[in-house]
């Protein structure tokens, strides 16, 4: 996708940086894409949160490869995409204000000095500066979507977590509406290319399905969160290959879901 197709959400301009970037045209296609953890950007006034460069570029700061997958899907599906423009270490847009891990003091193997013992007013400030304009953007894009559109969020996960290897390659997660996730898993297993599972490596009980709940379940819209193991998408070429595959899975799953609901 050409860079000039990117439009920054200007709701956060008063802070000097945007909370979200959008790609594609709202209202087109049968899918709405969201990539909450697309960026490792930490605003200059945050003093790098006290982190080393290695930590700031690690998976702790963002979902490696997820934006490349999401942008390719946006092209293939002709779908609008809302992508987070700030690192989840500053504020995790896939968490509500009351979540204890929305501003993590420790993430994976890294302590985050700039997030330790922050006062409630600072937590509220980050919520107002990052979460609110990001989700306002998602709401606007969802409002413009066709009535039959579905919501898809794109994430990635590490091959090893807390010393344990993860065998699953692609996970399809849901909050409470399991329709689209189940249809995706069924079709993915039939294709047999990747080891796919339902609600892996995380599930709603881990508190990771906030965006699905807020913008999918609350509207009665079918939705799914896709988790891709990041060693499969850690280059642009690899990410595009996986995205091309996922586009087929999503199209077929949505078609099957629509047929089932119409009683065909």
DSSP letter for each residue of 181-199: HHHHHHHHHHH-SS-EEET
* Residue 260 pLDDT grade (very low, low, confident, very high; cuts 50, 70, 90): confident
Cβ partners under 8 Å of residue 22, min gap 6: 6, 7, 8, 9, 80, 81, 82, 83, 137, 141
Q: What tokens does 34 get?
A: 């969201």
Domain over 8-261 is classified CATH 3.40.630.40: yes
Going by pLDDT thresholds of 50, 70 and 90, the confidence category of residue 15 is: low
DSSP character at residue 116: T
Confidence band, pLDDT 50/70/90 cuts, at residue 9: very low
Task: Say if residue 13's pLDDT is above 60.
Answer: no
Reply yes or no on whether the pLDDT at 152 is more than 70: yes
Q: Which residue has the tokens 């509406």?
A: 177
Average pLDDT over residues 143-147: 94
Spatial contact of 258 and 148, defined as CB atoms under 8 Å apart: yes
Mean pLDDT of 187-197: 96
- Number of Cβ within 10 Å of residue 52's Cβ equals 10
Q: What is the pLDDT, as a whole number, of residue 118?
A: 92
Q: Which residue has the higher pLDDT, 4 or 225?
A: 225
d(CA 19, CA 128): 10
78 three-class SS: coil
Residue 5: predicted pLDDT = 35
Instruction: Identify any residues that bridge with 224 across adjacent strands, giving them in sequence order.
Output: 152
How are the residues of the chain apportioned to helix, strand and coil, as percentages rounded to the nearest 5?
Answer: 45, 15, 40
Cβ contacts of 82 within 8 Å, gap of 6 or more: 20, 21, 22, 32, 33, 34, 35, 134, 137, 138, 141
The residue extents of the domains of the chain are: 8-261
- pLDDT tens digits, residue range 203-259? 999 999 999 999 999 999 999 999 999 999 999 999 999 999 999 999 999 999 988
Q: Which of 259, 237, 256 is nearest to 248 (CA)?
A: 256
For residue 14, the model assigns a pLDDT of: 40
């Amino acid at each position: 996708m050409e860079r000039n197709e990117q439009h920054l959400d200007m709701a956060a301009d008063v802070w000097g940086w945007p909370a979200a970037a959008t790609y594609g045209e709202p209202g087109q296609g049968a899918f709405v894409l969201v990539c909450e953890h697309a960026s490792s950007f930490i605003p200059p006034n945050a003093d790098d949160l006290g982190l080393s460069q290695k930590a700031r570029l690690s998976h702790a700061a963002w979902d490696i490869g997820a934006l490349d997958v999401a942008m390719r899907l946006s092209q293939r599906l002709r779908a609008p995409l809302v992508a987070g423009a700030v690192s989840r270490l500053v504020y995790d847009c896939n968490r509500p204000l009351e979540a204890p891990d929305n501003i993590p003091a420790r993430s994976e193997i890294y302590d985050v000095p700039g997030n330790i013992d922050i006062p409630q007013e600072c937590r509220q400030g980050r919520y107002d500066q990052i979460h609110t304009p990001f989700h306002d953007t998602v709401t606007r894009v969802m409002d413009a979507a066709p009535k039959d559109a579905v919501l898809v969020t794109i994430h990635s996960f590490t091959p090893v977590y807390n010393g344990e290897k993860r065998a699953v390659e692609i996970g399809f997660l849901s909050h409470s509406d399991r329709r689209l996730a189940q249809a995706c898993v069924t079709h993915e297993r039939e294709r047999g290319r990747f080891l796919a599972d339902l609600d892996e490596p995380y599930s709603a009980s881990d508190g990771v399905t906030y965006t699905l709940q807020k913008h999918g379940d609350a509207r009665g819209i079918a939705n799914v969160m896709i988790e891709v193991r990041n060693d499969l998408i850690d280059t642009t070429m690899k990410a595009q290959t996986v995205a091309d595959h996922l586009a087929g899975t999503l199209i077929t799953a949505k078609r099957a879901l629509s047929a089932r609901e119409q009683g065909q």
